[in-house]
Amino acid sequence: MINLEVPKKAGALVNQAYQAAAEVFRPISRKYDRAEHTYPAELDMFAALLDGLNSSGEGGAGAAGVRRSEKNEKPGNRNGSNLNIVLGTIEMCWGDVGLLLSMPRQGLGNAAIGSVATDEQLKKFSGLWAAMAITEPDCGSDSAAITATARLDGDEYVINGEKIFVTAGERADAVVVWATLDKTKGRAAIKSFVVEKGTPGFEVVRVEHKLGIRASDTAVLRFENVRVPKENLLGTPEIDTAKGFAGVMQTFDNTRPLVAAMAIGVARAALEETRKILADAGVTIDYDKPVHSQHAAAATFLQLEADYEAAYLLTMESAWMADNRKPNSLQASMAKAKAGRSVVEITLKCVELAGTLGYTEESLLEKWSRDAKILDIFEGTQQIQQLIVARRILGKTSAELK
pLDDT in tens, 274-318: 999 999 999 999 999 999 999 999 999 999 999 999 999 999 999
Distance CA 321, CA 394 (A): 21
> When comparing pLDDT for 334 and 53, which is higher?
334
pLDDT score recorded for residue 342: 98
Overall average pLDDT of the 258-284 stretch: 97
* Active site members: 379
Domain tally for the chain? 3
pLDDT reading at 59 higher than 50: no
Which domain-ending residue is among 208, 234, 260?
234
Residue 73 structural domain? 8-124
Which are the contacts of 130, defined by CB distance < 8 A and separation ≥ 6? 107, 109, 110, 112, 113, 172, 173, 174, 175, 176, 194
If asked whether residues 266 and 223 sit together in one domain, one would say: no
pLDDT score recorded for residue 115: 77
Residue 368's CATH number: 1.20.140.10
If asked whether residues 86 and 143 sit together in one domain, one would say: no
Whether 400 maps to a domain, the answer reads: no
If asked whether residues 94 and 223 sit together in one domain, one would say: no
pLDDT reading at 90 higher than 50: yes
Overall average pLDDT of the 188-207 stretch: 96
Helix (H, G, I), strand (E, B) or coil at 170: coil
Residue 203's CATH number: 2.40.110.10
If asked whether residues 59 and 172 sit together in one domain, one would say: no
If asked whether residues 252 and 360 sit together in one domain, one would say: yes
If asked whether residues 223 and 265 sit together in one domain, one would say: no
Global pTM exceeds 0.75: yes
If asked whether residues 13 and 94 sit together in one domain, one would say: yes
Radius of gyration of the chain from Cα atoms?
21
If asked whether residues 24 and 143 sit together in one domain, one would say: no
